Amino acid sequence: MNELSEGEIKATILYKLVRRGCWGERYFPLDTLVNWLGKKIKNDGKTVREAVASLESNGYLLLHKRGETASLNPRMKGQVIAFIKRYIRL
C-alpha cells in the first residue's frame, strides 16, 4: 500500500478516465472507480470520494445519473491533460 498525495490521487482518477475515453456523455461508474483506487491507497474510498468531489467542483469532472457515474469535462481537456502530466510521468 503506497502513499499517494492528494494531487496524485486526483491525477490517477483523471488518467483512468482518459485511458477509458470517458469524455462528455461517455461515463464510468463511481463505485467501480472508488473500489479500484481504494485498494491502492489507505482510508479506503473516503479519500477517493473526496478527490472526486473536489475534481467535480473544479470543473474537471461531470457527474451523471444522480452522482453515480462520472465523465471528464470536454471543455477542460487541455487543463485535464496538463494536470495529469504534472503528477504522472507518461
Q: What is the pLDDT of residues 37-87, one digit of tens each?
A: 888 777 668 888 999 999 999 999 999 999 899 999 999 999 999 999 999
Encode burial over 54-86: b for 16+ CB neighbours within 10 A, e otherwise: ebeeeebbbbbeeeebbbbbeebeeebeebbee
CATH class of domain segment(s) 6-87 = mainly alpha
* Nearest CA-CA partner of 48 in 70, 26, 21: 70
**Backbone torsions φ then ψ of 23, nearest 5 degrees:** -110, 140
- How far is the C-alpha of 14 from the C-alpha of 29, rounded, in Å? 13
Q: What pTM was computed for the model?
A: 0.91
Alpha helix positions (H), 6-76? 6-19, 30-38, 44-57
Query: Per-residue pLDDT tens for 4-34?
Result: 888 999 999 999 999 999 999 999 999 999 9
- How far is the C-alpha of 66 from the C-alpha of 21, rounded, in Å? 21
